[in-house]
Amino acid sequence: MAQDQPQGPKNSRAPEGTTKYFVSWLQYRRTKTFIGFCSREWKAAFVGNLFKALIVRDLYADEKTGWCEEGKRCLALDCPLNRTTRESFLASHGLKQRQLSNQKFQRLVSNLAQLRAADILPQHVLEKPDSWVICSG
């Protein structure tokens, strides 16, 4: 890891001085695809299957250092804590370069950026993001 990159705590499940954010998942049009919204800015940040939705329930971030637990996998590229590149996304999902072209990656990011949590997620989730949910949309 480069020296200028923020580093998170060694035990990211019990980090000191960090903030816990919840991830709320929405099943996309009754398919096997789920979209995860991070409660930090309520942006679409993750795409996955039900298994991923069951695993990624929350994340920790340190606003002071700019570190985020999901900073190299998150697809909300305009988040100030985001460090994701196409290469880091591919690596985190076990994909090869040919499986997701740069054009398709950019289209995925662009499509997710257009989703507004306020238009999709139930109001009670937006008002009190202290629990994990999966909803169908």
For 73-92, how does the pLDDT look when each residue is reduced to its tens digit (9 = 90+)? 999 999 999 999 999 999 99
Check: CB of residue 105 under 8 Å from CB of residue 89.
yes
Three-class DSSP category at 117:
helix
Q: How many CA atoms lie within 13 A of 54 on its CB side?
A: 3
For the stretch 23-66, pLDDT in tens is 999 888 888 999 999 999 999 999 999 999 888 889 999 999 99
By C-alpha distance, which of 35, 44, 33 is closest to 78?
44
What lies within 8 Å, CB to CB, of 91 at 6+ separation is none
d(CA 30, CA 68): 30
Which contiguous run of DSSP H or E holds residue 109?
helix 102-113
Kindly report whether the global pTM for this prediction surpasses the value 0.85: no
